[in-house]
Chains A and B, each alone.
Chain A
Amino acid sequence: MNTEKKAGRAARRTFRMNPAMTAGIIIVGILALTAILAPVIAPCDPYQYGVPYEKPSADHLLGTNDVGQDIFSELLYGTRVSLLIGVFTSLVVTVIAASTALVAGYYRGWPDKLITAFTNVMMGLPNLALTTLLVAYLNPGKISIIISIALTAWTGTSRILRSRIIQLCEMPFIKIEKSLGVSDGVIMVKHLIPNLRDVILSRAALSVSNAMLTEASLSFLGFGDYGEKSWGNILHYAFYQKGVIRGFTWWYLPPILCIALSVMGFMLIGYYGAQRKEDGTDA
């Protein structure tokens, strides 16, 4: 069967990786481990108050902040929040994008026109401004951050998936299935989604990096979840509580590096994943 062959090829392709992607996966793996093991590795409770503005020492590897919380432990716990928001937002984004794209690309006609117009309208909104407005005026918390970011982030993925689905639906194997009377749901789940898997995954990785970036920006501006430690939050206090002006490198530099590195990690996976896909179809 044509489809099975295609699916098999897709599965084998997954294991061929380039160095950039390997680097991305290693970064993400380390992040995930840190997030899971944060309570085990962290030397102190990040919420515990203590002596403020301490320099790095054996007790506090990266010193303490303006209320005496251990910055190293803050960073470790921050991984959890940043990663959680990134991954969940990406999940929401991918589900919204995939379902709108499936409806638009598979059924065409008026649902397509409606969804397309709606996507266009959404794309016209300034993302960061709308997200900031929403986060500031909704009840603060992780869920409203996820909703606010996801609300504007799904359009790009939806666009790409829709045009891929339209291409796929022109292929003989889908047409045969359709004329055999296979139900729409089965075609979508068994044929369309497996064939789109690479695109979906690489777009999902990109949207994780985007969401982490937006979350960090929001927390840096002070619109994030106040009670939670996140990298943007640490940077916010470093910037507004004079950590940057006094040159406390150990306070502002680690969160910057963490944000940059993790965004880079997911970006590498997404960017090179997409390239690999194109190479695969060309061959």
Chain B
Amino acid sequence: MLKRIIKKSLIAVLTVFAIVTVSFLMVRFMPGDTLIHLVGADRYYELLEDSPKQLEHIAELYGLNDPLWKQYLKYLKSIVTLDFGIAYSNHLPVLDNVLSCARWTLILSVPTFIIGGFLGAVAGVLAGWKPGGAFDRIMTPVMIFVNTVPTYCIGIIFLVVFAFKNGWFPVNGMTNGTSTGIARILDIMWHAALPLCLLVMFRTAGNFLLMKSNVSQVRSEEYVTTAYSKGLTEKKVLFRHVMKNAMVPYVTSLCMQLGSLLSGSMMLEVIFGWKGMGNLFYSAVNSRDYPTAQLCFMISAVCIVAGTLLSDIVISFIDPRVKDAIDEY
């Protein structure tokens, strides 16, 4: 098991390295002058007119005149020292910007993770336990529909119905900016209600389908038949045999979802004007603010890698049967 964990960790480190390299190469091989991407198009032309010297200084700073491998080493060094440059939008260090946005995203994604994980599991077990029953026949098409339709499509419809038409919820933003203390918390909750509802809905749908297929697969295993023929009650079979086995892939998937806590809600954040990581990334790409976009990309990628690694470790603890099989990646 230790060997397996070490191997998986190595792959994770390799992936992080690949992510860092990709984001280095991307800006260097992008069409157009690299400097445009690094300082932003507007500022680039501004500087080109006013003070070409400063532009040269910036190029020097990034080492753009050096050979590629030297630039790469310099870049790696800046990453290790957590120096990601200055954002053009407000001239603060990129890292500070991103971290303050990450907090807002977590307000949405942590409850989604918990509630969606719970609801999806319960509904999935109910549907998978009695396939073809009334609950299954109603829920499955609904959940498949929710799972297929793009988030922002339903998001826009929700926005129109609940915010514009009826005015039950705010249209945009995260707080009214004036209240303090408990009122502020309530206000944030009120603003978060719509996007949170949607996120929970989509997460529940995905989890439901996963859990349902797990449970219905385990149900047809021979040991379940054996358990029944031993004379165990329905409840005991469900909790002792079916749930235990169905939970294994489910827990793996939950760990993976932990990895996408920061990157999973981009579209809805954009629609609801929620200034989280996804929105920051969107506006950074939109205004060609490469340092910010790059850091958002790297942070969310590293989180996803960490989530995958976590799921690998967790599964080798809870399910000792998983070994380095032939089919294993």
Contacts and interface: CB of A to CB of B under 8 A. Distances in A.
A56 interface: no
B31 A138 contact: yes
B44 interface: no
Is chain A's binding surface mostly helix, strand, loop or mixed?
helix
B297 A245 contact: no
B18 interface: yes
A18 interface: no
A139 B32 CA distance: 9
B153 A260 contact: yes
A263 B152 CA distance: 14
Interface in A50-67: none
A28 interface: no
Interface in B52-77: none
B48 interface: no
Interface string B130-161: 00000000000000110011101100110110
Contacts of A252: 156, 160
B329 A129 contact: no
Interface in A237-270: 239, 244-245, 247, 252-253, 256, 259-260, 263-264, 267
Nearest to A163: B327
B11 A223 contact: no
Contact of A263 (B22, B150, B296): B150
Interface string A113-132: 00011011101111011101
A196 interface: no
B315 interface: no
A236 to B, nearest CB: 10
B329 A221 contact: no
A213 interface: yes
A221 B263 contact: no
Contact of A217 (B152, B156, B300): B152
B18 A129 contact: no
Contacts of A159: 329
**Chain B residues touching A, range:** 35 or more
Given A124-B19, A244-B159, A252-B156, A117 B300 contact: no
Interface string A174-215: 000000000000000000000000000000000001000100
B297 A124 contact: no
Contact of A129 (B152, B153, B266, B288): B266
B308 interface: yes
B285 interface: yes
A20 to B, nearest CB: 9
Top 5 A-B pairs, shortest CB-CB distance: A124-B15, A256-B153, A260-B149, A124-B305, A136-B285
18 contacts: A126-B263, A128-B266, A129-B281, A129-B297, A129-B300, A130-B22, A130-B297, A137-B30, A159-B329, A209-B148, A217-B152, A222-B286, A235-B156, A244-B156, A244-B159, A245-B171, A259-B153, A260-B148
Interface of B: 11-12, 14-15, 18-19, 22-23, 26-27, 30-31, 37, 144-145, 148-150, 152-153, 156-157, 159-160, 164-165, 171, 260, 263, 266-267, 270-271, 281-282, 285-286, 288, 290, 293-294, 296-297, 300-301, 304-305, 308, 326-327, 329
Given A136-B286, A239-B271, 20 more contacts: A117-B14, A120-B15, A120-B329, A124-B301, A124-B305, A125-B301, A126-B260, A126-B297, A129-B300, A129-B301, A139-B31, A217-B152, A221-B286, A222-B286, A235-B156, A239-B156, A244-B156, A253-B157, A256-B156, A267-B144
Interface of A: 116-117, 119-121, 123-126, 128-130, 132-134, 136-139, 159, 163, 166, 209, 213, 216-217, 220-223, 235, 239, 244-245, 247, 252-253, 256, 259-260, 263-264, 267, 271
